[in-house]
Amino acid sequence: MGFWRIADLRSVRTADLLVGLVGGGYQANLAIHNPWQA
């Protein structure tokens, strides 16, 4: 039971990290291509 809870938290944390990386890269791209938008 505890193991599955840890695994679920880990998967959620990994997904959140990926979303953060993709979102951060996307915002950086916007800033690079459109400096007035930043």
Give per-residue pLDDT as tens, 1-38: 566 677 788 888 888 888 888 888 888 887 777 766 55
Residue 4: per-residue pLDDT: 66
First to last CA, the chain: 46
Report the alpha-carbon distance of residue 21 to residue 31 in Å, rounded.
Answer: 15
Dist. CA 29–CA 35, nearest whole Å? 10
pTM for the model stands at: 0.47
What pLDDT score does 29 carry?
A: 80
Model pLDDT, residue 18: 85
Q: Are 30 and 38 in contact (CB under 8 A)?
A: yes
